[in-house]
Structure 1
Amino acid sequence: MDKRFIVLIDFSDYSDNMVRYAYNWSRQAEAKLLLLHQVAVVAPAMADSTTRASIAMHARTRAFQKLKALIHSNVPDNEEVQLSVVETDLKYTLAKLVAEPYDQLIFLSLKGTGLLKQLFMGSVAIDVIENANALVAAIPKNIPYFSPRKLFIAVSDKHPLNISALEKLMQFIPGHVDMIIFFHLAKGNEDTASVAEELEKLSWRFSAICPTQHAIYHDKNAFEDMRAMVLNKNEELLVLQKGSRLFVDQLFRKFLVNELVYQGEIPLLVLP
């Protein structure tokens, strides 16, 4: 099945980097590239239908111009990139796109400043991750290109990994990864016997693809031990399972998303 990368564009300062990163990855994965922007049409409350339609058309035209400018600045001239500007709800639009016959990856930017940083992840990012039935890549601002060498994959004790989605992810990064590290962050006096067994099974299963390791990080030293392993932001990807404690629990999300992704500038991939 053909691959397609859907890149959500908001025309922020992060957009140029997002396009460069997604284009670079798409070339290596042999994936089609689609830039998607949801336009906000603001019309006076008393405007008639003709006026509203005119305002909407102007907004769409302006958005297409800005998308073309992004392509011109960040993608070689001979490359084909699809552009889409919609007024419909983003959840509805993505649901329709994800239903199309592609293996797909959705890209969005993470803005790690001010209030959004305190909330650990912006509302749009959370909404997309929670509702899209697809792999989602959340990219911090200063990652210049796609060049992963290590995958750090978080394993929950009660919410198993979506193995088919993880295998699909591996198809997006063929020949790149030198090491997969499955890890679990233990909380308090948690019994880790079952998760240790699961880590071993996962390590064995994916060892046919590349070398694997697994680890359990315990209690108050867990975050420091994990941070020490993540050394090179340009060569590492952090993978979480949607719905797992590591994604839902605020303490764990604060560390994994705020400190590793925002501050450490490591791309985050979320499995559906």
Structure 2
Amino acid sequence: MKRLIVLIDFSAYTETILKLAFEWRKSYDVSLKFIFKIPGLAPTLANSPSKNQIIDFEKKEAEKAFSDALKKLGVPRGEADFLAIDRQLTHFLSEETSSEDMLLLGLKGTGFLKKLLIGSTATDIINHLNRLIIALPKSIEQAIPTKLALACHVKYPLNEQALSNLLDTIGNTVEEIELLTILTEKEERTDSEAYLDKLKAKFSTHYKCTVKLYEGSDAFGIIKKRYRQFPDDYLVLQKGSRTLNDQLFRKFFINDLVHDGQTPLMVLPFEEA
């Protein structure tokens, strides 16, 4: 059984992310593991016994907070696996998760989201951890994905095995896959169309599949306007692709669509050699 690793912080958004996680467990064959990084308030120069006491206290408080949150939702404590850690988060996730695991991050809102994705925890996770990452904004109304908008480009081939693994898990609720690309050069059109048509042929046997090519000076604006009309579509980006490596594309897809547009995001891992 695949695991959904859920990162929580006991903010006001925790109840929402817990509900979303249990909804995924109900809809898909996944187990849940909730992870909380304790604040680590122990002074740097504190002696080991004192420091360990503070860490133990913070972990016990986290366990109590988690139990209280489950009780509020009417979920028995025994139905959820929880771990409070004092290690650096990306190091822990790198060592304690596998390529089969999915990571779920909750995105709270405008100010926090910008901080989270542009300069903090999620940036580290996306940059340094080769895992499937799911980031859900607080405003999302449909937690279960029914349509995936897959940003792809002929020069940055998709990790088709990772996408296949994702669809093996959530494919029973996905009804449509939209393949989209942004053309920055006119000569890209022929190769891009051929690549997207090839992908479409693979997916169309199981899903409604469409192809969208955007070009011109207002391509970003057109996409942004379109996805604002469909806030429950899941945007899927490829780790290592232009959409995440190029600063212009990263600003648009992360800042404008996910941050401002509140579009739920999935990041596929790159294919390891």
Q: TM-score, normalised by structure 1?
A: 0.89
Q: Label 1:244 to 1:75 Cα distance change in 2 as closer, same or farther (>3 A).
A: farther
Q: Is the 8 A contact 2:237 2:244 kept in 1?
A: yes
Q: Label 1:13 to 1:211 Cα distance change in 2 as closer, same or farther (>3 A).
A: same
> How far apart are the structure 1 equivalents of 2:141 and 2:72?
14
The Cα offsets for residues 99-144 of structure 1, whole Å up to 9 and x where unpaired, read as: 3xx8321011234433853896342111111222221001111224
The within-5 A match list for 1:105-120 is: 105-114=102-111, 117=114
The residue aligned with 1:193 is 190
- Letter aligned with residue 197 of structure 2: E
> How far apart are the structure 1 equivalents of 2:86 and 2:155?
39
The residue aligned with 1:222 is 219
The Cα of 1:194 is off from its aligned counterpart by 1.5
List runs of 5+ in structure 2 lacking aligned partners.
none
Aligned CA-pair RMSD = 2.2
> How far apart are the structure 2 equivalents of 1:118 and 1:54?
31
Q: Is the 8 A contact 2:105 2:136 kept in 1?
A: yes
Is it true that 1:170 corresponds to 2:167 in the alignment?
A: yes
The Cα of 1:149 is off from its aligned counterpart by 2.2
SS at 2:118's partner residue? coil
> How far apart are the structure 2 equivalents of 1:119 and 1:50?
33
The residue aligned with 1:182 is 179
SS at 2:75's partner residue? coil
The residue aligned with 1:57 is 56
> How far apart are the structure 2 equivalents of 1:105 and 1:118?
22
Identity of aligned residues (%): 33
- Letter aligned with residue 50 of structure 1: P
Q: Is the 8 A contact 1:106 1:134 kept in 2?
A: yes
Is it true that 1:125 corresponds to 2:122 in the alignment?
A: yes
> How far apart are the structure 2 equivalents of 1:111 and 1:154?
24
Q: Label 1:74 to 1:233 Cα distance change in 2 as closer, same or farther (>3 A).
A: farther
Q: Is the 8 A contact 1:21 1:145 kept in 2?
A: no
Is it true that 1:208 corresponds to 2:201 in the alignment?
A: no
SS at 2:188's partner residue? coil
> How far apart are the structure 2 equivalents of 1:232 and 1:35?
29
Q: Label 1:73 to 1:115 Cα distance change in 2 as closer, same or farther (>3 A).
A: closer
Q: Is the 8 A contact 1:120 1:254 kept in 2?
A: no
The Cα of 1:243 is off from its aligned counterpart by 1.3
Q: Is the 8 A contact 2:110 2:260 kept in 1?
A: no
The Cα offsets for residues 183-225 of structure 1, whole Å up to 9 and x where unpaired, read as: 1012254522222211011000111221101121002231233
The within-5 A match list for 1:91-102 is: 91-99=90-98
The residue aligned with 2:251 is 254
The Cα offsets for residues 163-189 of structure 1, whole Å up to 9 and x where unpaired, read as: 011011112213212211101012254
